[in-house]
């Protein structure tokens, strides 16, 4: 049985309760959203990159109120890029690009696309089945007018699938060269990617992204093309791009990678990601924008200024957790980002970064504590357990107790035998900050490396740690008892802890870590938005 539970993560509220909502509808780092409408139900998943478990599936009845349902990929074999959720003839499929990673050497050095399938979105999901598709990302599924299944790929290329959708049935072909924006526009790169397809009336629509997903705020955008046949030719929308951040003064930057979906009242919506102005550290968050079809059959975005409240897709309907048709997640509901570790399972707020096979074996839940076996020598190689956040300001605390320390001949703990446990703000293994406690010494981390700073902390086996991130200004405290706190001598400014600094499309997340030969006991992890 998996030791991972699913629970509501306490993100910023999108539904304002007055018939309007405010973006983001899912705050925090949930990029490349793929959305499936199945009757009255909506399902969404996003790129999970280096995290394990991966592919958190979320459920909604109104496109605004979302709750976690399950992890479709408990043990990712490599990095997970943008996927596509599909329902075909009563069965569910997720097409997944896997990217090589240093933490998954057995995967090899070539990107590959796989598929998993299930009878229900709640699972259980099959193990990945690798298709004969290499060096491609961003799959998009469609059934053609010929009844055959096709997978469109970055580029934009296309390959036919077998009837069961579990193998390719022909060569990969170039089918569309994209819409070209003016050369003087400020973007990251052309980067034709993210094909999402739908059939409406006599037209097939191909929605894609260009301009690069990071880089300048004005780079990423949404473009549309259409054809009367899945085989083309494709006609570009004369109004392209239909979504783009045109100025860094806007509330949301780098908007793109859209799925068009029919709303609960027959209206239409675009679901895509974007960076919050000034807060790239939070990653790419899920945005919802109303849309409409013109009389001549083109899709138009209607959201305008996304910093303002917008009318809900439907008013007066129960949210996902209260609707009678919602999938039953039972006792797994109601878990916040905080964790007292008294449950039998870890909640969906926790995910290992850069996990080795069997990483979950490092975890033991005992009473009111999480015991994490040490790995590596510090945050960079210890696969920290991280939680997502979508808050501009927040505070985190945890109690750290060191276990299994080995003494040297003098009666002290030898440097080579020292276990370290700590509290971090973690972007990736090259960029993080925080505190590591070794029983007699504290290690300070900043900018992804060990700091020269020597923080004076009395020796003990237990220490309370606190980190506050106040709109990029980070302060830290330690306490022997959780009552008397000493502020750390250093503060940090973290606005640069983002994708444009290290070329890694992740976010700055609260995390705990255990390194060294022993184990670390963590108690009372508390998260509080400020």
Distances in Å between the alpha carbon of 396 and those of 4, 337, 360, 473, 511? 21, 10, 23, 14, 9
The Cα 104–Cα 80 span in angstroms is 12
Under DSSP, the state recorded for 250 is: S
Is residue 289 part of the annotated active site? The answer reads no
Residue 224: other Cβ atoms inside 10 A: 23
∠ CA 359-360-363, rounded to 5°: 115
> CB–CB of 466/427 below 8 Å?
no
The Cα 71–Cα 94 span in angstroms is 12
The Cα 522–Cα 509 span in angstroms is 17
Q: How many CA atoms lie within 13 A of 250 on its CB side?
A: 20
**500: enclosing H helix or E strand:** helix 499-502
Reduced to 3 states, what is the DSSP secondary structure of residue 362? helix
Surface-to-core class of residue 36, CB atoms within 10 Å of its CB (0-12 exposed, 13-18 middle, 19+ buried): buried
Is residue 193 part of the annotated active site? The answer reads yes
> CB–CB of 482/399 below 8 Å?
yes
Question: In this structure, what token pair is assigned to residue 443?
Answer: 């290690």
> CB–CB of 153/133 below 8 Å?
yes
Closest to 508 measured CA to CA, from 420, 395, 390: 390
The Cα 152–Cα 355 span in angstroms is 30
Closest to 82 measured CA to CA, from 204, 209, 186: 209
Under DSSP, the state recorded for 180 is: P
Backbone angles phi, psi at 334, to 5 degrees: 90, 15
Closest to 114 measured CA to CA, from 56, 164, 165, 46: 165
The Cα 467–Cα 426 span in angstroms is 12
Catalytic residue among 29, 67, 193, 237: 193
> CB–CB of 447/469 below 8 Å?
no
Name all contacts of 276-279 with Cβ < 8 Å and 24+ positions apart. Answer: 276/24, 276/251, 276/252, 276/392, 277/217, 277/248, 277/249, 277/250, 277/251, 277/252, 277/253, 278/495, 279/392
67, β-bridge pairs: 59
> CB–CB of 52/74 below 8 Å?
yes
> CB–CB of 66/77 below 8 Å?
no
Under DSSP, the state recorded for 161 is: B
Q: List active site positions.
A: 32, 193
């Amino acid at each position: 049985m998996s030791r991972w539970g699913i629970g509501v993560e306490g993100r910023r509220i999108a539904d304002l309760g007055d018939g309007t909502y405010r973006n983001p509808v899912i705050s925090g780092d949930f990029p490349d959203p793929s959305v499936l409408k199945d009757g009255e139900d909506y399902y969404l998943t996003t790129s999970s990159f280096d995290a394990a478990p991966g592919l958190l599936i979320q459920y909604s009845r109104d496109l605004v109120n979302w709750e976690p349902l399950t992890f479709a990929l408990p043990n990712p074999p490599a990095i997970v890029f943008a996927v596509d959720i599909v329902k075909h003839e009563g069965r569910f499929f997720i097409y997944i690009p896997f990217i090589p990673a240093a933490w998954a050497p057995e995967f090899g050095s070539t990107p590959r696309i796989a598929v998993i399938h299930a009878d229900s979105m709640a699972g259980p999901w099959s193990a990945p089945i690798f298709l004969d598709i290499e060096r491609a990302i961003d799959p998009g599924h469609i059934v053609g007018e010929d009844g055959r299944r096709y997978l469109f790929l970055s580029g934009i290329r296309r390959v036919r699938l077998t009837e069961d959708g579990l193998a390719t049935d022909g060569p990969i072909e170039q089918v569309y060269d994209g819409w070209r924006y003016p050369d003087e526009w400020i973007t990251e790169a052309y980067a034709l990617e993210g094909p999402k397809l739908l059939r409406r009336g006599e037209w097939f629509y191909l929605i894609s992204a260009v301009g690069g997903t990071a880089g300048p705020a004005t780079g990423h955008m949404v473009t549309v093309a259409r054809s009367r046949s899945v085989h083309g030719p494709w006609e570009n929308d004369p109004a392209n791009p239909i979504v783009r951040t045109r100025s860094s003064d806007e509330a949301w930057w780098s908007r793109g990678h859209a799925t068009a979906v029919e709303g609960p009242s027959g209206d239409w919506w675009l679901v895509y990601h974007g960076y919050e102005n000034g807060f790239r550290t939070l990653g790419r968050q899920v945005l919802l924008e109303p849309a409409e079809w013109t009389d001549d059959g083109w899709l138009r975005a209607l959201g305008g200024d996304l910093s303002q409240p917008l009318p809900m897709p439907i008013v007066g309907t129960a949210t996902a957790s209260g609707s009678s048709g919602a999938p039953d997640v039972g006792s797994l509901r109601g878990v916040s980002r905080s964790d007292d570790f008294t449950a039998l399972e870890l909640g969906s707020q926790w995910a290992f970064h850069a996990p080795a096979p069997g990483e979950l074996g490092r975890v033991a839940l005992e009473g009111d504590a999480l015991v994490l076996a040490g790995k590596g020598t510090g945050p960079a190689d210890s696969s920290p357990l991280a939680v997502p956040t979508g808050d501009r300001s927040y505070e985190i605390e945890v109690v750290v107790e060191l276990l299994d320390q080995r003494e040297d001949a003098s009666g002290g703990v030898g440097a080579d035998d020292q276990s370290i446990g700590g509290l971090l703000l973690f972007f990736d293994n090259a960029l993080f900050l925080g505190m590591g406690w070794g029983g007699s010494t504290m290690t300070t981390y900043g900018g992804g490396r060990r700091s020269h700073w020597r923080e004076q902390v009395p020796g003990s086996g237990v220490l309370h740690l606190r980190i506050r991130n106040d709109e990029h200004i980070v302060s830290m405290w330690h306490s022997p008892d959780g009552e008397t706190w000493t502020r750390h001598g250093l503060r940090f400014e973290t606005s640069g802890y983002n994708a444009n600094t290290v070329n890694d499309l992740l976010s700055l997340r609260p995390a705990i870590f255990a390194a060294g030969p022993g184990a670390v006991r963590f108690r009372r992890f508390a998260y509080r938005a400020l």
